[in-house]
Structure 1
């Protein structure tokens, strides 16, 4: 049996990323990301854009989510894996700090994992629901 903490299997790497995100462990999260990672937040999402480097991802996405939202969590529900591709059906829950409004919105994430690290990420989410909680 392979140890989950050190496994390079794509699904295990992505699961470690979600666990690190849920516990706000940015160092562990960065460890799942390749040095040249491309992390794309969907157009229309408050943090829309493509970020590179593990520090770029955590600084421009995770830290900003933490600054604007209480208890931002990506709940990873279903994994579909084919080779280096991992698609996760999930949901975001959080409370916007400025408005006090909450979200519970479905999302899909597409990860590409190579050599035991995430090299690419793309987010798909109902951005209108997120923006509605911010207004």
Structure 2
């Protein structure tokens, strides 16, 4: 097993989450999340709210996004780590299944990682651009 696969460094844990999400590996994604994780999707985002538990995050956020968009992807490109905090700048891309409109919007995620697991995530994005793509 590689050092990256077992590293508890906050940025490595978060990177494994993005890799698992891109691969559609829900088990690997859940393995990065603490049992009491709090995952907040920004007010105004179609899935706005706070989700708890690894199952709650994967079912309530990841699977729902997959239902709405073909190949919904978060392209992570910049990591800023400071202790247990990791901010990731990324881009969401997808094509909405119903409207056929593309989603292409910048996003920032703020993660808190403790003991090798993500305990909190908060999303920041231009929710109007996402809603526009999803509105009939």
- Same fold per TM (> 0.5)? yes
Q: Which runs of 5+ in 1 are unaligned?
A: none
In structure 1, how many angstroms separate the alpha carbons of the residues matched to 2:134 and 2:89? 23
SS in 2 for 1:121: strand
SS in 2 for 1:44: coil
Note the C-alpha offset of 1:75: 0.4
Alignment correspondent of 1:123: 123
In structure 1, how many angstroms separate the alpha carbons of the residues matched to 2:24 and 2:125? 21
Q: Which runs of 5+ in 2 are unaligned?
A: none
Alignment correspondent of 2:65: 65
Alignment correspondent of 1:48: 48
In structure 1, how many angstroms separate the alpha carbons of the residues matched to 2:64 and 2:106? 20
In structure 2, how many angstroms separate the alpha carbons of the residues matched to 1:104 and 1:71? 12
Q: Which consecutive segments of 4 or more residues in structure 1 shift more than 3 A?
A: none
Note the C-alpha offset of 1:103: 1.1
Note the C-alpha offset of 1:22: 0.6
Alignment correspondent of 1:10: 10
Matched residues, number? 134
Q: With structure 2 as the length reference, what TM-score do the two structures score?
A: 0.97
Alignment correspondent of 2:84: 84
Per-residue Cα deviation, 1:38-71 (whole angstroms, up to 9, x for no partner): 0000000000000000000001000100111101
SS in 2 for 1:104: strand
CA root-mean-square deviation: 0.7
Per-residue Cα deviation, 1:98-119 (whole angstroms, up to 9, x for no partner): 0010011000000000000000
